[in-house]
């Protein structure tokens, strides 16, 4: 057992492992091994893991649900910390919903509706965690984190920083100051967030959550392995419509496929590698640019051992 693993275990981290396949922790079910892996359930564990990585001069990365990342087949250098800070409560005086960064949005939507509040119903559509959503400005059904967030708690490996307001994160469509290009990690960790909610009838709020859930099931291939929308929608258009227009809907490459239901979803049909998905992303990007003049920008983040050339071919200019 390595020193890093021993120290992570001694600090209370859970499921500590070496060479952990990331395909177990991503919604695409794709990704090679992380050199080191651990699950943090408390802020103390999160901070301890980051400190241990820093002391050993290892790169480190926090993941939530792994729903917005394409992890390279060659894996991830250093330590991956899976955030599972799962406390959730309503503070009625404000009123606000307080969530640990490892709470999944679907739980946040159901919890606040059941408690008799409206405002978080849209969260039922987001498969990821609050932490990932604060980074990505996740959103659906005419709402997003930028519009719902009251404040987020953010720390670095020393536990410094503190509470930030949405204005501090410069939210734009699926973008924030916390969402960095693959190579430049901020090393900032979201530990919790507070969302705006208003009192309502629990039954009415729960019915809206259920309507949105059914709508999702009917319009998107949510049961297959994917990362949701692969590309951001360009201004005034839809990435899926553009990919469909250039004839790529249903295209297969290796074990990956551009969804016949929603062309902005790339599906892992069971045996896809990151290289297969990457090749489809590149193909869609090149074909759409050649035919329509629109350059699609990936919404998903490329994580792990990608080469500079790989990234230059698909990431935003």
Ligand X SMILES: Cc1cc2nc3c(=O)[nH]c(=O)nc-3n(C[C@H](O)[C@H](O)[C@H](O)COP(=O)(O)OP(=O)(O)OC[C@H]3O[C@@H](n4cnc5c(N)ncnc54)[C@H](O)[C@@H]3O)c2cc1C
How far is 272 from 281, CA to CA, in rounded Å? Answer: 13
Q: How far is the CB of 313 from ligand X (least distance, A)?
A: 20
Nearer to ligand X, 116 or 133 (CB): 133
Q: Is 27 in the site for ligand X (CB under 6 A)?
A: yes
Nearer to ligand X, 22 or 115 (CB): 22
In this complex, which beta carbon is closest to ligand X, that of residue 28 or of residue 117?
Answer: 28
Is 229 catalytic? The answer is yes
Catalytic residue chosen out of the listed positions 226, 229, 259, 285: 229
Q: By CB under 6 A, which span of 86-94, 129-137, 233-241, 307-315 interacts with ligand X?
A: 129-137
Task: Write out the binding residues for ligand X, residues 285-304 only, by CB under 6 A.
Answer: 301
CB atoms within 10 A of CB 27: 19
Q: Which residues of 42-73 are buried (b: 16+ CB within 10 A; e: fewer)?
A: bbebbbbbbbbbbeeeeebbbbbbbbbbbbbb
Q: Which of 11, 74, 150, 222 binds ligand X (CB under 6 A)?
A: 222
Which of the residues 23, 41, 121, 174 is marked catalytic?
174
* Chain mean position to CA 279: 21
User: Least distance to ligand X from the beta carbon of 270, Å?
Assistant: 16
Q: How far is the CB of 66 from ligand X (least distance, A)?
A: 5
In the complex, least distance from residue 274 CB atom to ligand X, rounded to whole angstroms: 14
Of residues 71 and 116, the one with the C-beta less far from ligand X = 71
What span, in angstroms and rounded, lies between the C-alpha atoms of 243 and 225? 19
- Among the listed residues 196, 180, 264, the one whose alpha carbon sits nearest the alpha carbon of residue 227: 264
Q: Which is nearer to ligand X, 1 or 218 (CB)?
A: 218
The region of 62-70, 86-94, 199-207, 237-245 touching ligand X under the rule CB under 6 A is: 62-70
Q: Is 32 in the site for ligand X (CB under 6 A)?
A: no
Residues 157 and 187 sit within 8 Å (Cβ to Cβ): yes
Site map 70..109 versus ligand X, x via CB under 6 A: -------------x-----------------x--------
Distance CA 279, CA 254 (A): 9
Choice from 227, 272, 277, 284 touching ligand X (CB under 6 A): 227
Q: How many residues does the chain have?
A: 317
The CB-of-14 to ligand X minimum distance in angstroms stands at: 16
CA-to-CA dists, residue 217 to 223, 262, 264, angstroms = 8, 12, 16
Decide if residue 264 touches ligand X (CB under 6 A). Answer: no
Shortest Å, Cβ 203 to ligand X = 25
- CA gap 173, 7 in Å, rounded: 40
Size of the site for ligand X (CB under 6 A): 33
The yes or no reply on residue 139 touching ligand X (CB under 6 A) is yes
Q: Which stretch binds ligand X (CB under 6 A): 11-19, 123-131, 236-244, 288-296?
A: 123-131
Q: What is the Rg, in whole angstroms, of the alpha carbon atoms belonging to the chain?
A: 19
The residues annotated with a catalytic role in the active site are 174, 229, 299
What residues make contact with ligand X under the rule CB under 6 A?
Answer: 27, 61-69, 83, 101, 125-129, 131-133, 135-136, 138-140, 174, 189-190, 222, 226-228, 301
């Amino acid at each position: 057992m390595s020193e890093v693993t021993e120290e992570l275990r001694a600090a209370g981290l859970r499921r500590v492992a070496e060479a952990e396949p990331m395909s177990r922790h991503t919604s695409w079910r794709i990704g090679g091994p992380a050199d080191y892996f651990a699950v943090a359930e408390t802020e103390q564990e999160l901070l301890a893991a980051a400190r241990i990585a820093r002391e050993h001069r290892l790169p480190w990365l926090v993941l939530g649900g792994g729903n917005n990342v394409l992890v390279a087949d060659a894996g991830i250098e250093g330590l991956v910390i899976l955030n599972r800070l799962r406390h959730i409560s309503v503070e009625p005086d404000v009123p606000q919903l307080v969530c640990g960064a490892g709470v999944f949005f679907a739980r946040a939507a159901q919890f606040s509706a059941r408690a008799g509040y409206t405002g978080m119903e849209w969260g039922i559509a987001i498969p990821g965690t609050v932490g990932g959503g604060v980074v990505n400005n996740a959103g659906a059904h005419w709402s997003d984190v930028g519009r719902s967030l009251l404040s987020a708690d953010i720390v670095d490996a020393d536990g410094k920083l503190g509470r930030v307001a949405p204005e501090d994160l410069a939210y734009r469509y699926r973008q924030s100051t916390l969402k960095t290009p693959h190579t430049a990690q901020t090393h900032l960790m979201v530990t919790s967030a507070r969302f705006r909610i208003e009192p309502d009838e629990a039954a009415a709020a729960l019915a809206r959550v259920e309507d949105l859930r059914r709508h999702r099931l009917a319009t998107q291939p949510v049961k297959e392995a994917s990362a949701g929308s692969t590309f951001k929608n360009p201004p005034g258009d839809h990435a899926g419509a553009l990919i469909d227009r250039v004839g790529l809907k249903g295209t297969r490459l290796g074990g990956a496929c551009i969804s016949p239901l929603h062309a902005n979803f790339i599906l892992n049909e069971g045996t896809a590698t990151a290289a297969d998905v990457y090749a489809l992303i590149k193909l869609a990007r090149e074909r759409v640019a050649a035919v329509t003049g629109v350059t699609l920008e990936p919404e998903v983040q490329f994580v792990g051992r990608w080469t500079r050339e790989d990234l230059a071919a698909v990431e935003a200019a």
